[in-house]
Chains A and B, each alone.
Chain A
Amino acid sequence: MSDVEEAITRAHHDEWARVVASLTRRFGDLDIAEEAAAEAFATAVERWPADGVPPNPGAWLTTTANRKAIDRIRRENKRDDKHREARMTYDVPIEPVGAIDDDRLRLLFTCCHPALAVEARVALTLRMVGGLTVPEIARAFLVQGTTMERRITRAKAKIKAARIPYRMPSADDLPARVSGVLAVLFLVYNEGYLASGPDTDPVRHDLTTEAIRLTRLIRALLPQDGEVAGLLALMLLTEARRTARISVNGELVALDEQDRGAWDVELIAEGHRLVRERLAAAAAGVAPGRYQILAAINAVHTSARDIRDTDWSQVLALYDQLVRLDPSPIIALNRAIAVAELDGPEVALAIVDRLTEALAGYHAYHATRADLLRRLGQSRQARAAYDRAIELAGNTGETAYLTRRRDQLR
């Protein structure tokens, strides 16, 4: 990649959200902001190789995008005078700039607004804040480009028609709204981490990388928020294991079989720093949320030299804490895996069997049961459970792993 291309890629990463956010504020219209930002970057691609990279790429892009937006509004004005009045008099009062007041945050909160459908929140966030193109997002979620285009267009139309505001939520709404943003980012990460679809790579690095980048952004904007730190740590500690988690044949490698030497020590160190920061806050009396607890569980795993070295009682204690916060059957299932290590597979199986009704359609339930039955030497039942897990698993790496495990049964 040439220096100019690199500068453009970097500018796209660093400045896209900022440009879209500041234009949205100025013109009060996501459509105009998105289109003008895209045009500004296209102009950069055209001009920078000849003119050189400007000293302040962000300012150049913002100015260029502003000009593009005004051009578009002028063009439209010729067609429709009433439109002009609406657009040009849209004057957002400038609110006092607080510590966590950033246009990009407003943009995130708007894109993740609870009045939008979840899939629309995800798509809009990746487009407006992440700067991914519509075809990229469509590919990531295995839908047609036109379907994704419609989804995004519809969401933007609703924001406009229903007047979903472009501003920081009020203080009492903030925790719920932040957790809404985090849920969207976690969804993006998970779709990358356990990509679904029969012809899909088992891990979609474009999505995991983007989710981490956006979580870093919100971490920079909300450095005091414990759950933001927790989610970032959780993603980093998961990401650190990504190369060890998939074999050369594209098969999922379970935690006990992973080559721990292949884990990314830098990501682990960063994740551990964040977890320690949250542990200090917890010691000072701040109750941790679910992402912080999940991150702490991952910190225990990434601190162990091998599976036997894992502090399972610590893992179980953390799951107990998590169950109190979120009594969902999926958490109970994961807790049972720690119970198996401490009290044996028989005790764990009894717990898992109690979850049948809630989790009968969930592949991980059958995979966990299969593994416990295998350890108990109940091959026939283990085989049936593997069969069901394979049927339900949507991830190619997982299917390959489960198939091998089943075929190894005697």
Chain B
Amino acid sequence: MRYLVSVIDDKSNPGSTDRQPAISAFNERLIAEGYWVFAGGLADTDAATVIDNRGEQAVFSDGPFVESKEYLAGVWVWEAPDLDVALKLAAEASKVCDRKLEVRPFL
């Protein structure tokens, strides 16, 4: 089962910025234990562009699709046998990256 793990940060109360070494070490472990599929941090939402080409012509707009205090700061994709395993890893990951996480299964 694949799970998308979203890292949620809060603009008014951001998590600490010195987590990278701990995150890298955690990723090494995910790889060694066979859970790791993908991981990536995201640039600030200011760098986002929304594209809508459902109409006659593509419309580009600057900024994220929804402005909010909380935003997606990065993602993991994990392969885990069930939600209990994913939640256990997520509990550790939240500590490691000092941010809230959302765990959501792929279809």
Contact = CB atoms under 8 A, between A and B. Distances in A.
A165 B105 CA distance: 13
Contacts of A113: 83
Interface residues of B, number: 10
A162 B84 contact: no
B83 A169 contact: no
A169 B82 CA distance: 12
A115 interface: yes
Secondary structure dominating the interface of A: loop
A114 B104 CA distance: 15
Interface string A158-185: 0001111100010001000000000000
Contacts of A162: 83, 103-105
A161 B81 CA distance: 13
A181 to B, nearest CB: 15
A245 to B, nearest CB: 41
Question: Which of B82, B84, B87 is packed against the most chain A CB atoms within 10 Å?
Answer: B84
A169 B84 contact: yes
Contact of B82 (A114, A165, A173): A165
A150 B11 CA distance: 35
B1 interface: yes
Interface string B70-105: 000000000001111001000000000000000111
B31 to A, nearest CB: 22
Nearest to A172: B88
B1 to A, nearest CB: 5
A169 B105 CA distance: 20
A113 B107 CA distance: 21
Contacts of B82: 163-165
Nearest to B1: A163
B84 to A, nearest CB: 5
A190 B102 CA distance: 32
Contacts of B81: 163, 165
A161 B87 contact: no
Contacts of A163: 1, 81-83, 105
16 contacts: A113-B83, A114-B87, A115-B83, A161-B107, A162-B83, A162-B104, A162-B105, A163-B1, A163-B81, A163-B83, A163-B105, A164-B82, A164-B83, A165-B82, A165-B83, A165-B84
Contacts of A115: 83, 87
A97 to B, nearest CB: 20
Question: Which of A113, A162, A164 is packed against the most chain B CB atoms within 10 Å?
Answer: A162
Nearest to A109: B84
B69 to A, nearest CB: 23
A27 to B, nearest CB: 17
Contacts of B87: 114-115
Contacts of A114: 87
Contacts of A173: 84
Interface string A57-90: 0000000000000000000000000000000000
A164 B1 CA distance: 11
B3 to A, nearest CB: 8
A163 B81 CA distance: 8
Nearest to A164: B83
Interface in A97-125: 113-115
Given A163-B1, A164-B84, 19 more contacts: A113-B83, A114-B87, A161-B105, A161-B107, A162-B83, A162-B103, A162-B104, A162-B105, A163-B81, A163-B83, A163-B105, A164-B82, A164-B83, A165-B81, A165-B82, A165-B83, A165-B84, A169-B84, A173-B84
A379 to B, nearest CB: 48
Contacts of A161: 105, 107
Question: Which of B81, B83, B105 is packed against the most chain A CB atoms within 10 Å?
Answer: B83
A169 B83 CA distance: 12
A162 B87 CA distance: 11
Contacts of B103: 162
Contacts of B84: 164-165, 169, 173
Nearest to B87: A115
A162 B5 CA distance: 12
A305 to B, nearest CB: 50
A113 B103 CA distance: 15
A124 to B, nearest CB: 15
Question: Which of A113, A163, A169 is packed against the most chain B CB atoms within 10 Å?
Answer: A163
A113 B81 CA distance: 16
A129 to B, nearest CB: 19
Contacts of B1: 163
A298 to B, nearest CB: 35
A162 B106 CA distance: 8
A117 to B, nearest CB: 15
